[in-house]
Amino acid sequence: MSFSRCALLWARLPAGRQAGHRAAICSALRPHFGPFPGLLGQVSVLATASSSASGGSKIPNTSLFVPLTVKPQGPSADGDVGAELTRPLDKNEVKKVLDKFYKRKEVQKLGADYGLDARLFHQAFISFRNYIMQSHSLDVDIHIVLNDICFGAAHVDDLFPFFLRHAKQIFPVLDCKDDLRKISDLRIPPNWYPDARAVQRKIIFHSGPTNSGKTYHAIQKYFSAKSGVYCGPLKLLAHEIFEKSNAAGVPCDLVTGEERVTVQPDGKQSSHVSCTVEMCSVTTPYEVAVIDEIQMIRDPARGWAWTRALLGLCAEEVHLCGEPAAIDLVTELMYTTGEEVEVREYKRLTPISVLDHALESLDNLRPGDCIVCFSKNDIYSVSRQIEIRGLESAVIYGSLPPGTKLAQAKKFNDPNDPCKILVATDAIGMGLNLSIRRIIFYSLIKPSINEKGEKELEPITTSQALQIAGRAGRFSSQFKEGEVTTMNHEDLSLLKEILKRPVDPITAAGLHPTAEQIEMFAYHLPDTTLSNLIVSGNSLSNRF
């Protein structure tokens, strides 16, 4: 788990409320810095915080501390002054002194008082011994002390100040641990957003399944407001709201990680902005804010962005759109800010049914079919096979440029276009308006990355299956009833089982340290590598 890649998944409950659900997950400075060499597993892992909101400090996980290298001293231009004042050191005698020092229980206990547990003590000693034994000349003070110990004129414990000085060189976090612990205190995230706390916000949760109109009602409030921000999970959705807003006569800018589009002729910012959730401003005041797909707050890699938007947007009204499974979590988070949540429930507008037969062959495709794949290889393979059959297909997957995705979506939706088949990833589950009659799962196994950075293959969750299946038979499309099936017959029973399972309530949210926290951490550890900085911050951080 880390400050790293990251998002510390914030255990949702205040002190005394369902402590068993207080879990933390990390997830993702990676979008900003890329992978961090040296990180344990280079991925977020599950953890349960051991400190409480009332102020306890957890013991740092020192297994994450990466020691810096301290090179032995080479020959000095001034010669070996220590040897001139005393005598050259006998390395064999020095080694015996160092071994005796290492075995001293009193020394180990003293090291523990300075933050050196058994693991750090051992690492620091190995580095200290190598430094002493491999240096051509030592500083005068340590040379004299070693000489006196060898002659019985000093005690072996007199080495400790020099050992501690060396330990702080390879583990600089030891020298400013208290300051760093304060900086990395993540227990009260609402306090990170004073601008939002100064506004008496009204929180409205539009809850319902796909194709229930929940986002439509929130967007209508956004259009009618004097100023507003839409925060979406995909660049494609941000583009869609951007275009709809401007088409409706509401000037709206677009902000994503790749684009900045202003529509005002003079280049000034419009009162409305559509953005990907990571790009929303938490200092700009708005009348209405819309946070789409709020259940993504649990995502290990991106959940922190939804938490940041939820806690930090400065809007008089904050409209949340998402699954009912997120209601309890959002209510608890807003409990920490003193804000109440109004829940508005919606029902699906069109029926949807799971078929009793699988597609079996691409020869059985019909206009309005969408084949959902979970890998690019499958996307390319299926689209090629469709093309061989003389059919046209539109293709949508996550890494396509937004403009290309929009063009593909429009092509598929156009009743006058010969393209009647769509091949897509689960990206279509995020609220895209597509004219789909039947969803066909090419597979039910989705690759994922576990806490150790390893690739795993697991069946999709009920939430994912419902999100994707719900894209069939949308109210605004030409198909008023939706159908769902699988490519292979052997997957059909599993799909039915998955869809019948209840959706588990969301119990954790992503949490990301602020840029100011990371900057202050770096200020205290200027010579530390980024990877060491990240894992040290995670280890020292106080969470629920």
423 in a structural domain:
yes
Lowest mean pLDDT among 47-51, 147-151, 387-391, 512-516: 47-51
Of 304, 325, 345, which one is at a domain's C-terminal end? 345
Of 174, 203, 229, which one is at a domain's C-terminal end? 174
Q: Which residues of 37-50 are buried (b: 16+ CB within 10 A; e: fewer)?
A: eebbebbbbebebe
Q: Please name the amino acid found at residue 526.
A: P
Looking at the structure, tell me whether residues 112 and 216 fall in a common domain: no
Looking at the structure, tell me whether residues 340 and 359 fall in a common domain: no
Express as a percent the part of the chain with pLDDT over 70: 79
Looking at the structure, tell me whether residues 340 and 427 fall in a common domain: no
420 in a structural domain:
yes
pTM of the predicted structure, to 2 decimals: 0.69
Which pLDDT band, with edges at 50, 70 and 90, does 204 fall under?
Answer: very high
Q: With contact defined as beta carbons under 8 Å apart, do 275 and 486 qualify? A: no
Q: With contact defined as beta carbons under 8 Å apart, do 216 and 476 qualify? A: no
Q: With contact defined as beta carbons under 8 Å apart, do 301 and 5 qualify? A: yes
What's the pLDDT at 450?
A: 63
10 in a structural domain:
no
Does position 28 have pLDDT exceeding 70, yes or no?
Answer: no
CA distance 346 to 348: 7
Q: Output the domain CATH number for residue 385.
A: 3.40.50.300
What's the pLDDT at 81?
A: 85
What's the pLDDT at 50?
A: 29
Looking at the structure, tell me whether residues 161 and 198 fall in a common domain: no
Q: In the chain, what is the straight-line distance between the N-terminal and C-terminal CA atoms, in Å?
A: 14
Does position 359 have pLDDT exceeding 70, yes or no?
Answer: yes
How do residues 133-156 score in pLDDT, each as one tens digit? 999 889 899 999 999 999 899 999
Does position 453 have pLDDT exceeding 80, yes or no?
Answer: no
Distances (CA, A) of 202 to 79, 289, 328, 342, 369: 74, 10, 17, 8, 41
Indicate the SS3 state at residue 48.
coil
Written as six digits, the tokens of 289 are 């804010």
Looking at the structure, tell me whether residues 233 and 375 fall in a common domain: no
What's the pLDDT at 127?
A: 93
CA dihedral sign of residues 259, 264, 267, 269: negative
Average pLDDT over residues 91-105: 93
Tokens 């890998």 label which residue? 375
CA distance 373 to 385: 14
Does position 95 have pLDDT exceeding 60, yes or no?
Answer: yes
What's the pLDDT at 379?
A: 92
272 in a structural domain:
yes
Distances (CA, A) of 479 to 182, 414, 425, 449: 57, 13, 21, 36
How many degrees, rounded to 5, is the angle at CA 258 between CA 252 and CA 259? 30
- List the 285-291 sheet strands across, edge first: 260-261, 252-255, 272-276, 228-232, 285-291, 314-322, 202-207, 341-345
Express as a percent the part of the chain with pLDDT over 90: 52
Looking at the structure, tell me whether residues 103 and 207 fall in a common domain: no
- The rounded mean pLDDT for the chain is 82
Looking at the structure, tell me whether residues 383 and 479 fall in a common domain: yes
Which pLDDT band, with edges at 50, 70 and 90, does 188 fall under?
Answer: confident
Lowest mean pLDDT among 171-180, 484-493, 534-543: 534-543
CA distance 19 to 255: 38
Looking at the structure, tell me whether residues 206 and 340 fall in a common domain: yes
Q: Please name the amino acid found at residue 182.
A: K
How do residues 460-503 score in pLDDT, each as one tens digit? 999 899 989 988 887 667 787 899 999 999 999 999 999 999 98
**How many domains, in total, are found in the chain?**
4
Closest by CA to 184, choosing from 31, 2, 451, 452, is: 2
36 in a structural domain:
no
Which pLDDT band, with edges at 50, 70 and 90, does 540 fall under?
Answer: low
Q: Output the domain CATH number for residue 144.
A: 1.10.1740.140
Lowest mean pLDDT among 49-58, 112-121, 353-362, 463-472: 49-58
Looking at the structure, tell me whether residues 103 and 219 fall in a common domain: no
430 in a structural domain:
yes
Indicate the SS3 state at residue 320.
strand
Looking at the structure, tell me whether residues 207 and 264 fall in a common domain: yes
CA distance 424 to 437: 14
CA distance 493 to 491: 6
Q: Return the bridge partners of 353, or none.
A: 483
324 in a structural domain:
yes
305 in a structural domain:
yes
Looking at the structure, tell me whether residues 494 and 518 fall in a common domain: no
What's the pLDDT at 85?
A: 86
Q: With contact defined as beta carbons under 8 Å apart, do 353 and 379 qualify? A: no
Does position 244 have pLDDT exceeding 70, yes or no?
Answer: yes
Of 280, 315, 345, which one is at a domain's C-terminal end? 345
Enclosing domain of residue 445: 352-500
CA distance 242 to 229: 10
CA distance 281 to 269: 13
**Sequence-ordered alpha helix ranges (H) in 389-487:** 402-413, 462-469
Which pLDDT band, with edges at 50, 70 and 90, does 25 fall under?
Answer: very low
Looking at the structure, tell me whether residues 532 and 487 fall in a common domain: no
